[in-house]
Amino acid sequence: MSSQHPEQKAEQAADQLPAHSEEERREQPVSRMGMFGAKTTGDTSGYGGLVVRQSPKVSTPRPFGGPEGGAEAGVFDEVADALERALPDFGDAIERVVVDRGEMTFFVKRERLAEVARTMRDDPSLRFELCSGVSGVHYPQDTGAELHSVTHLLSITHNRRVRLEATCPDADPHVPSLVPVYPTADWHERETYDFFGIVYDGHPALTRIEMPDDWVGHPQRKDYPLGGIPVEYRGAEIPPPDERRSYV
């Protein structure tokens, strides 16, 4: 019996997938230049010449397997089957399912997010009782779905983890709040709103939680300026990144 952790096995299996050829990679559109994609200030990361190309949206075919990987039906198939039974219009609510490196993600239409989350919590064969976190992701190149809200769920009953991911456009950054379903999402949604600007409709008190109330912008977006604001710490002033040493 191997002593490897199941997630380690899954990562190693993913690393063994055949790599795309250089010609195939060049055909993909450029997603961003540099490490962070910021264009307003100097990139002092040393990766200013990095070219990141956009990958096509993927959907994992069945069988989904489980956290330990494998090509046969497993835990993830059981979760998907249970959700499909509980949601008669599963195909309308769930846009796609992605299994990668031992993790399962349901991409949910944002208007159906609260309904799907409630089903994940209440259905006896699912019983995802705990929301362990809500996080945001910004993909400037994903036109019409630039902002992603990711909800991490844990089933204490069945010892399983999955994620619900909903997208919204930068021009309409609204996603339903899951606080009525999972009260623990309260401060997590506030933090995601603070850093990414995703507005959680129905949240009881959607205010900043990290940045000052009068702060302009959302600093974890990929297009947020890297510098421009000097930092004072214990009497010393640290210049903004665009005024520090640059790498050419």
Q: What is the pLDDT of residues 63-97, one digit of tens each?
A: 999 998 878 999 999 999 999 999 989 999 999 99
- Residues in the chain, pLDDT under 50: 1, 14-18
- pLDDT at residue 15, rounded to an integer: 46
Question: Residue 89 and residue 115: Cα distance in Å, rounded?
Answer: 11
- pLDDT at residue 49, rounded to an integer: 74
- pLDDT at residue 5, rounded to an integer: 59
- pLDDT at residue 16, rounded to an integer: 46
- pLDDT at residue 1, rounded to an integer: 46
- pLDDT at residue 204, rounded to an integer: 97
Alpha helices in the chain (DSSP H): 6-15, 22-27, 75-86, 90-93, 113-122, 185-196
Question: Residue 126 and residue 119: Cα distance in Å, rounded?
Answer: 8
